[in-house]
Amino acid sequence: MNPVANKVYLAIVQLNNWKHHLKDAIEAGVTQAQYDPDSTHTEFGRWLKDNAELFAGSPHYAEVNTLYQRFYGLGEQILAMSLLGKRQLAQEAIAYGSEFDHVSQALIKAIIAWHDQLTK
């Protein structure tokens, strides 16, 4: 299998795991920064950053990177709510139909489209 396509596809697994960790952190009432929302601290985030020049002309890369940064930015805001004791607001912010949910779904669709393009 194409190693780039494989890396792109594995990002879906990573994103789903990250979302579950965020949800668990909120439900547990995390009171300190035990959760890292920085997108460049993930394997896929580092890979996106490190390969920016390689994929500079790819519309799929640009879309995935933009959505990926937005996804993690929203995650950071949601985590901040939880850390401030606003767990209910944080839970609403990650719920189905929220902006975070819409960005997450768009990101996964963009990753799948990029993967499909890479495997053709």
Residue 61 belongs to domain with CATH number = 1.20.120
Residue type, 48: L
Distance CA 65, CA 67 (A): 6
Mean pLDDT of the chain: 85
pLDDT of residue 36: 60
Number of domains into which the chain is organized: 1
User: What range does the domain containing 104 cover?
Assistant: 3-118
* Alpha helices (H) along 1-120: 3-27, 43-50, 59-83, 87-94, 99-118
pLDDT in tens, 52-89: 888 888 899 999 999 999 998 998 899 889 888 899 99
Assigned token pair, 60? 């799929």
